Amino acid sequence: MSGVWVFKNGVVRLVENPATESLDGSRQGSNTRRKVLVHTPSNEVITSYAVLESKLWSLGWERYYDDPDLLQFHKRSTVHLISLPKDFNKFKSIHMYDIVVKNRNMFEVRDT
């Protein structure tokens, strides 16, 4: 994981390729490689929140319904909370890496 860490509006985020992504998060180039989240045991690309939710549920994650603007998952045996934007089109690599870190050896992020 390489790039530049940017602090804006009280949030720190990783800009993975500063040459193609501006510091405000918008894409500048059309040659950018898109990232995908892959469930490594099945080698399945996560294409929707329904698929992701079923994989997380099988790993012991439970859905929280506290915030109507977010999809949130919690694992009882940990203090971890996964928060995702409600719209799958806004599911970015930072969300993918959050899932990877909290589920070692179960998911990975790949370039398409």
> How far is the C-alpha of 89 from the C-alpha of 34, rounded, in Å?
12
Helix intervals (H) in the chain = 49-58, 93-102
The predicted model gives 12-34 an average pLDDT of 63
Q: How many CB atoms lie within 10 A of CB 30?
A: 6
* % pLDDT > 70, the chain: 84
pLDDT per residue as tens digits for the range 46-79: 999 999 999 999 999 999 998 888 999 999 888 9
